[in-house]
Structure formats: C-alpha cells, structure tokens
Chain A
Amino acid sequence: MTRFHPQVAEAPATVVSNDPVNGEYRHLVVTGSALAAAAQPGQFFQLLCPAPPGEAPFLRRPMSLYGADPETGRIAFLYKVTGAGTRGLATLAEGDRLPLLGPLGNGYRLDPAWKHIVAIGRGAGLATLGPLAKAARAAGIGVTAVLSARRPDLVVSDALFRAQGATVLTVTDSQGNSGPAHVERLLRGLIADQRCDAFFTCGSSRLLRVQQILAREFAIPGQVALEQQMACGLGMCFCCVRDFLTDGAIVHKRVCWDGPVFDIREALP
C-alpha cells in the first residue's frame, strides 16, 4: 500500500494579526502548517469562521489566498466584511485559533516563456491577484497591474505589486476611468508595446469580457479566477458549479475542484 501524502491540510491555524486596511477590507495573517503555507497564487482555503454575536454561520467560507510564505508558515487573506462569516472573521484576535482547509483548487499558472503579463482585477478580486506579483517576479516575468475599484482608497494589492517592481495603473469609478472602454484602450496600448503575453484576471465580468475579446483578436492566453458559493471545497457536493463553454458545448464545472482558475476562453461571464 502506498503511503498517504496529503496535498491539502486540515489543521487549525493561529491568528497573528487581523487589521483593517481601509474602510472596507481587513488583512488577516495566520500561521499554519508547512503544507498550508505552500499555497500558490489563485488557490483558496476553506475557513471555519467563528460565530459573530447573534449569528451562527454553519458552512465554511472559501477565501482566496492573499499571500503565503513557506519559510515563516504565514498565510494571509484580504477580506471585505459582507456577511455572517466575514463578520465572524473580523472578531479574530492575535493568538485565536482558526480551523482551515487548504490549499484548495488550481491556482494561476505561469509560463516561463512569457516576458510580460497583465493582471487586471476589480474589487475583492484584487486580493486574489495580489500574490501573482511575487510569483511572476520569481519567474522573471514582468507585470503590469490594472487595478479597478469604486474609489482610490478602496484599491488593494497596489503596494504588493509595486513592491515586486510591477507597473501599477489604477482606475476607479469616482475618477470616471474604470469603464470597459477605457480599460480596453489601456490594454490595447500594452499589447501594442508587447507587454501582454497573457491576461490574469479576477473580480469583474465586464473586464473579463474585454479581455476575452482581445484574447481572441490577438491570440493571447488568459486565466480567470472565479467565485461561487461553496460547501465542501473538495469537489464533492457539486453546489459551486458554473457554466463553461468547452469544446463548443456548455458544460457545468465545479469552481472549487476544476478551478477556481479557468482559461478565459471557456469562462462565461
């Protein structure tokens, strides 16, 4: 009988810090097992959120990776408080225990043949793109990050990208430059400058559509991280299915198991 080698850790982590980063997002840092801290960009964890006062979240909450460091065992998440689960997460303090399962799913894949990629995201999707900055640099790939949000103070991951030497372009609703037409102009410029060997995206179906059009026009590959309500996180329950266009047919795929990162050509917004 072959020895069992877990690919996914089911173990409690310990909270290091859990601080607000702006009016909407909080940054949670925990220490977990070596296996958990080996998580790759685009992968996610299932968090058993503590119950906030007066509420009882039952299921775990999927949370995409914001950062992981195998050397320190640290794992970071960037989350917006929107429901019972994240309200519970917001109550965590240093030293608290947080049961987590992960890393889960297929993350972003980087092709060493690429010279320069473009990361395009919006809102909470920016957190998912964040760890790509470090991974791309380690692979010797340059990055332009196009980060979209409602207001400049809600842009996240920009410091992470800048720290890794990426070019950061922010577009916001309040500045009136976040519309798909403007983003398309930016992307066409990057393509013309040969700075777009691949698209990496998360968090906006409008921006995904723009990239799908350009991907077809210029034969540029791309990857999108998708979200869906989940229960198990391991491909067992089939609650997180979405429609995909695969080989000319619309099929259901499980976001947790077949994704959460998919080829942008098969994703349906």
Chain B
Amino acid sequence: MTDLSVTIGGLRLANPVMPASGTFAEGLGEAIDLNRIGALVTKTITRELRAGNPLPRVAEVVGGMLNAIGIPSKGVPYLLEHTIPLYRSWTPPLVVSISAPTAEGFASLAAEVSVPGVAAIEANISCPNIEEDGKAFAMRAASTEAVVRQMRAATALPLWVKLTPNTGEIADVARAAEAAGADALVVANTILAMAIDLESFKPRLGNVMGGLSGPAVKPIVLRQVFQCARAVRIPIIGCGGISTAADAAEYMLAGATAVQVGTATFLNARAMIEVIEGLDRFCDARGFRQVSALTGALKHEETDEEDLSWVAADGR
C-alpha cells in the first residue's frame, strides 16, 4: 500500500486524483464511489446567469474532443443553496471553480463562495477578460498578477489558479500567479481549436471555436507542467489528456503534485478510480512508499542554456 496522500497549498488530499472542472457533477456518483477520489471540483460558476453556447457544443476529433459549452451557470445563490450542500454528502474536499469577466468580479465572487463547506477556490482565469479586449487573463503575466492579487485579498481559502495553454508565456504567467499569492496552479485548460464539417461547410461547433481536450493534448500540456514546475515553488495540478495511471505518473514526474481527469471520464466513468489504483501499483512496483515522491522525479541532464534556446522561445 502506497501512501497516496498529497498536500496542496495547506489542503491535504487522500490521493492526488480529482475531476477537471466542467467534466464532473453529482451524476458520476451513480457510477463510482466519489468518496474514493482526492477532491470534488465543481463546474465553473459565474455571478451572472448564463445559458451557454448554441449547439452543437461538442465535436469529436482524432484523439480527443472539442467543446464550447459556454459555462451555463445558475449563479451564486443556487451554488450556495443547492450545490455546496449537495456535495457535503461526500467526504472529499470541495473545490469551487469560479469565473468572471473582470478582476473585481473575480474578487467579489471569490469572497462570496468563501463559505463553510468549500475547501479551496479554483479560479478559471482562462476566460475572456473584458478589460483586456476579450483576451483571457491567463494569456499574460500582468493581467494574471492583477486578477490573482485582487482575489488573494478577497479570500482566505486556498486559491488555485487555472492557466490557459494558449499563451506562449506560460512560465511567466505561472510566476505572476505565484507572486500575487496563488496557492497552487492548475495546468491547464483546453487548447483553442476548431473543426469543419465537409458536408455542410459549417463549423462543427455552434460557437465556431472551442477547446480541445483528450489524449491529443497530453504531450503539449505535460511540457507546460514541466515549464511551470521549473518556474514556481507552489504545487501544480496537471490537467490535460490524462486517462490512465501511466499518464498521471508522467505528469507527476514532470512536476505535478496532483492531477485532474476530465474527458477520460466521458469514455470510462471509472477512469479516476483506475488512475488511483494504478498509481498505487506503479509506486509499489517502483519501490515508492509515497506517491508524492514522484513529483518532479524526472531524471534529465541539466543542459546549457544555449542548448535549450529553442524551448526559451515558448516560455523559458
């Protein structure tokens, strides 16, 4: 038996496996025992009521799927009165994912959801920032720092900041989030993508563009976790194309303390359970008593800066 527990910004999880926001709801509890997973992570909520995007909202592609759901949200009162009490039927800590169109909006929403029953806040700063011409907060270090600093002042709860993989400066963005007081980073959201139907000549998503997830994104996001882990001291939660314990182990070796499983759950409701059981076996087979020993255990020769110059272009 491996000690599967991990600690993320002061929050202890029984194991490092949790759902990715937007791919989880209480319905999964009909198929798997939610008390076995490391944490519960809500769909992103916003203060404003949102209906979501036009259909179709998903499209399958080779090795993954595109989604443009559009963050349908029933608002804060519904979260406080229904969602949070509902998730108290299970033991894992509850992480509430929030989003807002302004830094001030993020801060006030963070304050509003800082209530008993919520163990941490995940700030989805990959959404468009209306103060920055619609560019996601997490595209740049400066906008990331500003929004995280305001949230930090608004809540005492552990603050996880979810980055976008669509920036070319992810290490700078990671450092900015850490400097502004983030307790952990979630790396990363989906990769902006599109697909076209050759019968109709129309985009295959109602929103035209959407986020790519699934096995296709894993090598890209794994690289970004590695880059962020070198840049910051706060824990990183890897999220991108994880379907198996082997995928999770790779993320941990690259520097992740925990992982989120999303799209894989759509193909196998037991995916998170299998990742947990598989990590236990992987650690046993490799002689690790604690899963946390995998974090950052990547073996690589330190290279001269010159040899890594091609990496530098994408974020040092």
Contacts and interface: CB of A to CB of B under 8 A. Distances in A.
Interface string A131-146: 0000000000000000
B24 A238 contact: no
B108 interface: no
A237 B22 contact: yes
B25 A234 contact: yes
A4 B33 CA distance: 6
A235 B270 contact: no
Interface string A231-269: 111111111010000000000100001000000000000
A22 B183 CA distance: 61
A37 B103 CA distance: 51
A252 B57 CA distance: 13
Contacts of A229: 55-56, 58
B78 interface: no
Interface string B52-76: 1001111011111101010010000
B285 interface: no
B130 interface: no
Contacts of A257: 25, 27
A234 B269 CA distance: 9
A56 B31 contact: no
A241 B55 CA distance: 8
Interface stretch (A57-65, A73-81, A148-156, A201-209): A57-65
B27 A239 contact: no
Instruction: Tell me the interface secondary structure of chain B in the complex.
Output: loop
Contacts of B31: 6-10, 101, 234
Contact of B69 (A10, A60, A101, A237): A237
Contact of B267 (A6, A48, A235, A236): A48
Contacts of B22: 236-237
A234 B267 contact: no
A231 B67 CA distance: 10
Nearest to B28: A234
A256 to B, nearest CB: 8
A229 B60 CA distance: 11
B23 interface: yes
Interface string B13-43: 0000000001111111011110100000001
A10 B33 contact: no
A236 B62 contact: no
Instruction: Tell me the interface secondary structure of chain A in the complex.
Output: loop
A113 interface: no
A59 B28 contact: no
Given A229-B56, A252-B72, A234 B27 contact: yes
Contact of B67 (A48, A101, A233, A237): A237
Given A59-B65, A236-B24, A237-B22, A8 B35 contact: no
B61 A58 contact: yes
Most chain B CB inside 10 Å of its own CB: which residue of A58, A233, A241, A252:
A58
A10 B268 contact: yes
Contact of A232 (B52, B63, B266): B266
B102 interface: no
B7 interface: no
Report, nearest first, the 5 A-B pairs whose CB atoms are least far apart. A234-B27, A4-B33, A58-B60, A235-B27, A239-B57
22 contacts: A1-B91, A8-B269, A10-B31, A56-B63, A57-B60, A58-B62, A59-B60, A59-B266, A101-B269, A229-B58, A231-B65, A232-B265, A232-B266, A233-B266, A235-B25, A235-B26, A236-B22, A236-B24, A236-B266, A238-B52, A239-B57, A239-B69
Given A232-B266, A235-B25, A237-B266, 12 more contacts: A6-B32, A8-B269, A9-B31, A10-B269, A58-B214, A237-B69, A238-B57, A238-B72, A239-B57, A239-B58, A241-B72, A257-B27
